[in-house]
Structure 1
Amino acid sequence: MDVEWARLKAQDLRRLAAQDAIVVLPVASIEQHGPHLPVMTDTRLGAEVAHRAARIVQAARPIVVAPVVWAGLSEHHMPFGGTLTVSPATFRAVLSDLVTAILRHGFRKILISNSHGGNMLEMQAAVDELAPRFPDAAFVATTYPAEAAAGLAALLDDQPGIQHACEGETSMMMAVEPDLVDASDLAALASEPGPKFLSAGAGSYRWRPFAHATANGVAGNPARASADKGRAMLDVAAQAIAALILDPDTWAPPRDLRGEGAGGVPFRR
């Protein structure tokens, strides 16, 4: 059976819900990715990783991938143009409504699979809001460059991890959408944002637009990109997400280690 929700019929999805299938909900963004990559980069790569991971998992258990939520939190990138962004409240509300709709069909295990760093905090906040409302369901939020960080780092030449429109993202887009990559002068695009882009002091957060850190919307060195490297990176990312999904501990219910009470007063059950 196809793993793509949008290609299935209603009865197929009812059958998957009855089989306790895992639902992967990809979340991404439409935002500038330098002069050489399309604005759909995060959306395209997030969908690719989610579908590859689901195809790996499918041999072991039922799984389906919902359509990508392309509207993300990209305010940092607005100065460069081409970016579509929503407010944090809207992003959380969309996730909450979509997850609630999925739950209403009987699914109980949902992986929110993210491909854009700006979504991470609000994605986690959405899970924090959903979990107490639906205690019989399991929610997991992941971001593939973080979950697959070690494997991706081993394939990169000039950077320790995925940055933005960089060696890594450019390589992966060369692998899946080569016609949309302008590789005419990648060497001229390298940009290394300083360590203080979004920080202040020893450990404090300070908001800044991406134009504060880069002149061209790139963070990293796309000149080191190749399609072969991109294919290897997509495989590593998909394997990491599949391993997360297949780990029984990922979906294990929470433990309750409370005793009968404390200070002479029973706990509420």
Structure 2
Amino acid sequence: MTVSWPESGLLPIGRVPGGELAAVAAAADFAVLPVGAVEWHGPHLPLGTDLILAEGFAAESGATGEGPRGVLFPAVPYAACPGQTRPWPGTVAIRPEIAVGYLADVIEGIVAASFPRLLIVNGHDANMSTARAAMEWVSGRRQASLLLVNWFQLVTPAETTQLYGELPARGHGGAYETSGVLGFDPDAVRLDAVEDLPPKPKLPVPHPYVLVESRPDPWQGWSGHISLADVETGERVRHIAGARLREIVAAWVAAPPPAPPTADPLPTDPTPSRKEG
């Protein structure tokens, strides 16, 4: 049968009859899974901020309708959340070990449905570790190409400095994340609900690091210079990040698929053969 693809480039799996799944999977270039969270981001942002961003950018992966064809799976709404946001109202956090197992089952189920290429679009930073652990597990069990993209990283720190100036903009619930939501759902944001809450300065070193603290100061479950965010900047963020996501997907789909996994990665004789001279 011939599958009719929507102009957006993404076909919602929830609308596919079971009898047509095989034809849809054969015609698709990849599947898409948004992963987000239900988490406090301050009085100005919705509790579904990470879902809005994950689902929004997942849709952007096929926005032109001219590139690869994707099948969109329903978003994963709940996630492991940091200790800094768990006490705040509205945060629904699951244990990290539960998150890894749950994501592993979801990812394997999508691959088993004949979608060996799966794009995971992330809107919640804590998902990066749990999603990758699940992806690594599935890739050792089934032949699959699993691509994880975090929307937050699609615009560089240097570019956010160009957009917002020298004040920090990339914190939890800050100007950059607020702009991202404004780019998709401006009615969900209350810019007048808070005043700027300058975040704790980063360590004065140029080297990469990960710092996890119980409760930064200042901190109200969010921090940042919200006065820097507006709808125009949000549309710019959406445009830049969406274009880069589509570029990544196009290159990924064009690459050759991986070989199937093996339970015996070592050769029968691990000693290299030597040619007698």
Give me the TM-score of the superposition, normalised by structure 1.
0.82
> 233, 236, 252: which one pairs with 2:237?
233
Question: Per the alignment, do residues 89 and 95 of structure 1 end up closer, same or farther by CA in structure 2, a change over 3 Å counting?
Answer: same
Aligned partners of 2:123 and 2:152 also within 8 Å = yes
Aligned partners of 1:164 and 1:218 also within 8 Å = yes
* 2:226 is equivalent to residue 222 of structure 1: yes
Measure the CA separation in 1 of the matches of 2:159 and 2:73.
Answer: 25
Q: CA deviation at 1:48?
A: 0.5
Q: CA deviation at 1:216?
A: 1.8
Higher helix share: 1
Percent identical residues: 22
Q: Of the two, which has the highest radius of gyration?
A: 2
Taking only aligned residues, the RMSD between alpha carbons, in angstroms, comes to 3.0
> 86, 107, 111: which one pairs with 2:94?
86
Quote the residue 2:138 is aligned against.
Answer: 130
> 10, 15, 26: which one pairs with 1:8?
15
User: Deviation per CA, 1:12-59, whole angstroms, max 9, x where unpaired?
Assistant: 543320124201111111111112111101111111111012223x41
Aligned partners of 1:158 and 1:221 also within 8 Å = no
* 2:200 is equivalent to residue 193 of structure 1: yes
Aligned partners of 2:80 and 2:93 also within 8 Å = yes
> 106, 127, 132: which one pairs with 2:114?
106
Q: CA deviation at 1:225?
A: 0.6
Question: Per the alignment, do residues 247 and 205 of structure 1 end up closer, same or farther by CA in structure 2, a change over 3 Å counting?
Answer: closer
Structure 1: stretches of 5+ with no match in the other structure: 197-201
Paired residue total: 256
User: Deviation per CA, 1:207-246, whole angstroms, max 9, x where unpaired?
Assistant: 433x334332223211101101101101111111111110
Q: CA deviation at 1:203?
A: 7.7
Measure the CA separation in 2 of the matches of 1:138 and 1:252.
Answer: 10
SS in 2 for 1:117: coil
SS in 2 for 1:103: helix
Aligned partners of 2:11 and 2:70 also within 8 Å = no
> 31, 34, 38: which one pairs with 1:30?
38
Q: CA deviation at 1:191?
A: 2.4
Which letter does structure 2 place at the counterpart of 1:74? C
Q: CA deviation at 1:254?
A: 4.8
User: Deviation per CA, 1:47-80, whole angstroms, max 9, x where unpaired?
Assistant: 1111012223x41222122111111121321122
Question: Per the alignment, do residues 4 and 86 of structure 1 end up closer, same or farther by CA in structure 2, a change over 3 Å counting?
Answer: farther
Q: CA deviation at 1:148?
A: 3.4
Measure the CA separation in 1 of the matches of 2:31 and 2:88.
Answer: 34
Which deviates the most, 74-83 or 174-183?
A: 174-183
